[in-house]
Amino acid sequence: MTSLSARAETLLALHHRATPVVLPTVWDAWSARAAVESGFEALTIGSHPLADSLGSGDGEQMSLDEALAGIARITAAVDVPVSADMESGYDTAPAELVERVLEAGAVGVNIEDTVHSQGRLRGAQEHADYIAGLRAAADGAGVHLVINGRTDVFKTEQQIPDRLAEAITRLNLLEAAGADSLYPVGVPDTATLEALLAAVSTPMNVTAHPVEGAIPDGLDLARLAELGVRRVSFGPLLQAALGNHLAEVTNAWR
């Protein structure tokens, strides 16, 4: 656990510097090595691109065993901290999930509040309790697993009268539960992002578009740093952008 603990502490420290940590989202050993060779200090594994690489679908359509096998291949291929998107936890108890994620070599997790097997959004306290369980299990294992607590309040089809207020409630609960970073997916505009940042003290994660800049409003890295964002990841967008270049690269050979 010594090496895992050191990597976890390195990943955590990257969330607390002046500039945001940018975690390119990878899906296999090749993409992970390519990202490290491009100069990135840490990586995140996206559930969607990993599932795509296996011929499966996002939303926990690949099995937990398949996800963990993919994670293990990636962590074995690079010497930097790796976080893994574990969706909503695959209906797995926190202690078991932490044990298996650490065995696969990841030192961070992204956990969302959309429970795919049940087609619903976890309750705010319910999600916080799951995150608290992960924190307790990681503490028990002696590794500060870096937990990215995600909420889908802005993208869910579930009826929510005041999405901003609900997002703030959930993020505050995730802070109290021990999350190391907070990830409100689908933030619609800069004003909403600023309101969220003002409501929390834990580092916040936003999604970046690999060509146009960050979401929302096409913000670039410098502006995100000014606003106080501390973590940037790509979700499935990096893999999709690279795929879009296939026709251009191969055009002369068709």
DSSP 46-91: -HHHHHHHTT--TTTTS-HHHHHHHHHHHHHH-SS-EEEE-TT-TT
Strand partners, 232: 22, 206
Angle of CA points 38, 41, 44, to nearest 5°:
95
Q: What is the mean pLDDT of residues 50-74?
A: 93
**What is the identity of the amino acid at 7?**
R
Q: What is the reported pLDDT for 237?
A: 67
Question: What are the E-state strand segments in the chain?
Answer: 21-23, 25-26, 43-45, 82-85, 108-111, 114-115, 120-121, 146-151, 181-184, 205-209, 213-214, 231-233
Show me where the domains of the chain are located.
2-239
pLDDT band at 251 (very low <50, low <70, confident <90, very high): confident
Task: Round to whole Å and give the CA distance between 211 and 107.
Answer: 28
Task: For the chain, give the mean pLDDT.
Answer: 93
Q: What is the reported pLDDT for 234?
A: 85
pLDDT band at 1 (very low <50, low <70, confident <90, very high): low
Q: Find out if CATH 3.30.70.270 is the number for domain 2-239.
A: no
The pLDDT of residue 8 is above 90 = yes
Q: What is the mean pLDDT of residues 101-110?
A: 98
Q: What is the reported pLDDT for 249?
A: 83
Range in 128-137, 200-209, 215-224 the model is least confident about = 215-224
Identify the H or E element spanning 247.
helix 246-250
Q: Let me know: does 83 contact 148? Beta carbons within 8 Å.
A: yes
pLDDT band at 216 (very low <50, low <70, confident <90, very high): low
Q: What is the reported pLDDT for 214?
A: 52
pLDDT, tens only, 148-186:
999 999 999 899 999 999 999 999 999 999 999 999 999
Task: Round to whole Å and give the CA distance between 224 and 45.
Answer: 22
Range in 48-62, 125-139, 159-173, 212-226 the model is least confident about = 212-226
The pLDDT of residue 217 is above 80 = no
The pLDDT of residue 49 is above 80 = yes
- pLDDT above 90 coverage of the chain, percent: 80
Q: Which of 101, 89, 83 is nearest to 26 (CA)?
A: 83
What tokens were used for 117?
């097997």
Q: What is the reported pLDDT for 248?
A: 83
Measured from the Cβ of residue 89, the count of other Cβ atoms closer than 10 Å reads 23
The pLDDT of residue 76 is above 80 = yes
Q: What is the reported pLDDT for 211?
A: 52
Measured from the Cβ of residue 182, the count of other Cβ atoms closer than 10 Å reads 27
Q: What is the reported pLDDT for 227?
A: 95
The pLDDT of residue 68 is above 80 = yes
Task: Round to whole Å and give the CA distance between 143 and 98.
Answer: 10
3-class state of residue 158 by DSSP: coil
What tokens were used for 96?
């078991």
The number of angstroms, rounded, from the C-alpha of 37 to the middle of its chain's C-alpha atoms is 21
Instruction: Please count the residues of the chain.
Output: 254
Q: Could you tell me whether strands 205-209 and 231-233 are parallel, antiparallel, or unpaired per DSSP bridges?
A: parallel
pLDDT band at 23 (very low <50, low <70, confident <90, very high): very high
**What is the identity of the amino acid at 143?**
V
